[in-house]
Amino acid sequence: MDRTRPYGSPQAEAAPRRRDAARNRELLLAAAHAVYAEHGVEAPIDVIARRAGVGNATLYRHFPDRGALVEEVFREALGRIREQGERARTAEDAWAGLCGYLDAVFGMLAADRGANDLMTTGLSGVPSLDALHAHNRETLAVLLGRARADGTVRPDATTEDLLLGLLALGRVVPALASVEAGAWRRPLALLLDGLRSRTGADLPGPHLTERQFASVLADFRT
């Protein structure tokens, strides 16, 4: 024991405060994950604070805004999706890599409504989410390009075509999961089957450009 620091000194009192702060942070993260899983990422901040048993001021001391809280809550989940993309890019068979990647991603989104909301609704101030969206688009572009080159994907199918279909499907995943586990696999299989190379009519109309898709995405998420 350090007898040069009397009980009640600032040094002695700092350690319990740090322990309390760390405990409050963990309570807030657990509460946020539970609330987001139940109600989505638009759930009110005060609901999370109440679930954690702390005041709003305590929440804001740890997480100054919604984006900072979401960033921390979903850091691991977003990292897993990125890892799936990295593995898919190295698949020997591009079509198998694409199907496996999307099956893994939708499996994660079906299991966590908060993560699903995060991927399909607009939320600013989450740098790792912005990075993941870019990484996801690049993964799909790489795999589609390889699959077009080897003749397994129709030549007129674009990355934006696939992203648009995935965005629409992603929005109904929570409802599908609520009625039957794995119900999302059927519409995903139909969506992917539409990409396959086969004899038939060309797709009607011009495809969306990357900028046009970004505009649609912005309207869709508001």
Rg, the chain, Cα only: 22
Map out the domains of the chain as residue ranges. 10-73, 75-220
The pLDDT assigned to 115 comes to 86
- Assess contact for 157 and 203: CB atoms under 8 A: yes
**Nearest of 68, 84, 206 to residue 143 by alpha carbon:** 84
How is the chain split among helix, strand and coil, in percent rounded to 5? 70, 0, 30
- Assess contact for 163 and 209: CB atoms under 8 A: no
- Assess contact for 67 and 123: CB atoms under 8 A: yes
What residue ranges in 95-138 does DSSP mark as E strands? none
Judge if 10-73 and 75-220 fold alike in CATH terms: no
User: Quick one: DSSP state of residue 65?
Assistant: S
Please tell me the total number of residues recorded for the chain in this structure.
222
Cα–Cα–Cα angle for 122, 125, 128, nearest 5°?
90
Q: Model pTM?
A: 0.80
Where does residue 82 rank: exposed (0-12), middle (13-18), buried (19+ CB within 10 A)? middle
SS3 121: coil
Q: Which CATH entry fits the domain spanning 10-73: 1.10.10.60, 3.40.50.12160, 1.10.10.10, 2.60.40.3880?
A: 1.10.10.60
The pLDDT assigned to 207 comes to 78
User: Quick one: DSSP state of residue 202?
Assistant: P
What are the structure tokens assigned to 134, written together?
């870019």
Distance CA 97, CA 85 (A): 9
Q: Is the dihedral of CA 151, 156, 162, 168 positive or negative?
A: negative
Distance CA 203, CA 61 (A): 53
- 75-220 maps to CATH 3.40.50.150: no
* Tens digits of pLDDT across the chain (222 residues): 455 555 555 555 566 668 888 999 999 999 999 999 888 888 899 999 999 999 999 999 999 998 899 999 999 988 999 999 999 999 999 999 999 999 999 998 888 888 888 888 767 778 888 899 999 999 999 999 999 999 999 999 999 999 999 999 998 888 888 888 889 999 999 999 999 987 666 777 777 788 877 777 676 655
Residue linked to tokens 């020997």:
92
